[in-house]
Amino acid sequence: MTDKADVKFIDPSAGNYDLQTSSPAVNNGKSIQEFPVSTDFLGRDRPFARLFDIGAFECHDSSLLGLPEKKNLSEIEILSLSLKDDHIFVCLLLIKRKLLQAGIYDMNGHHISDFYNKYAGPGYIKLDEFVGQLANAYYICIFQFGDQIVTKEIPALHWFSK
């Protein structure tokens, strides 16, 4: 796409760079779950309808919810995950309502902390949970959602002020 008309913004001449549902950018972006970004430029949840859009805007047209589902779509998708100081920040997309259990383990498999054990879903869930002070190291987060288990490696980051 070399011309902004090809992107199919709603009304770029009026400064509205939101995407039309027919835009080739809709549902063709890559997952950004390695970054703690869970909203678009306007503060709306992303992804919408399970798939990311290309660019700073996420099309939130309800007609996208009726699109056929991808085969083998997980019932739990980790959209963003980060550890900072003594908190874990998570954004998940849950397809159904089930018991969600989540915990942190060190790279040797030793249990560090359970940070969530509640029924959740369907839809987006954002967590900001206390997990205790962690060393600058890599950890493994384990999410169990019904019968499904998802693991994700994550570094603990600490910000030091002078």
One DSSP character per residue, 70-129 reads: PTT--SEEEEEEEEETTEEEEEEEESS-EEEEEEEEETT--EEEEEEEEEE-SEEEEEEE
Range among 5-9, 28-32, 68-72, 126-130 rated most confident: 126-130
Please determine, for residue 41, whether its predicted confidence score (pLDDT) is greater than 90: no
Please determine, for residue 158, whether its predicted confidence score (pLDDT) is greater than 60: no
Walk me through the domains of the chain, giving residue ranges and CATH numbers: 1-70 (no CATH), 76-157 (2.60.40.1930)
**Residue 2 binned pLDDT confidence (cut-offs 50, 70, 90):** low
pLDDT of residue 129: 92
Can you give the pTM of this predicted structure? 0.54
68-105 pLDDT tens trace: 544 445 788 888 888 887 889 999 888 888 999 999 98
49-62 pLDDT tens trace: 777 888 888 888 77
Rounded distance between C-alpha atoms, residue 88 and residue 155, angstroms? 11
